[in-house]
Amino acid sequence: MIKFGFKIKTRGGTVVDNLTFAAHDRADAERKVTQIYHHCEILDCHEVQSQMKEEALDLERAINLIGKEPGSVPEPTE
């Protein structure tokens, strides 16, 4: 699933920013917005990068670096 950020104008004229919806694609995310906010106008839509995904990649890189350090893998004993 991809997260999409929206800025909308409600039918009453109020601007709502920082709405986030997870969906399979942009069309699905827009459908979800219009189901909740009937007759709204979508002013902006953008894909939101997940911090969790970036943090997971950083952790994976750190683990890989640790594994490459000399002496980090114990010698097998018989």
Q: What is the pLDDT of residues 60-77, one digit of tens each?
A: 777 776 777 665 555 566
Helix/strand/coil for 53: helix
**17 within a domain of the structure (yes/no):** yes
Distance (Å, rounded) from C-alpha 28 to C-alpha 22? 9
**56 within a domain of the structure (yes/no):** yes
Global pTM? 0.60
Residues 6-46: tens digit of each pLDDT: 999 999 999 999 999 999 999 999 999 999 999 999 999 99
Assess contact for 50 and 64: CB atoms under 8 A.
Answer: no
Structural domain harbouring 49: 2-68
Task: Tally the domains of the chain.
Answer: 1
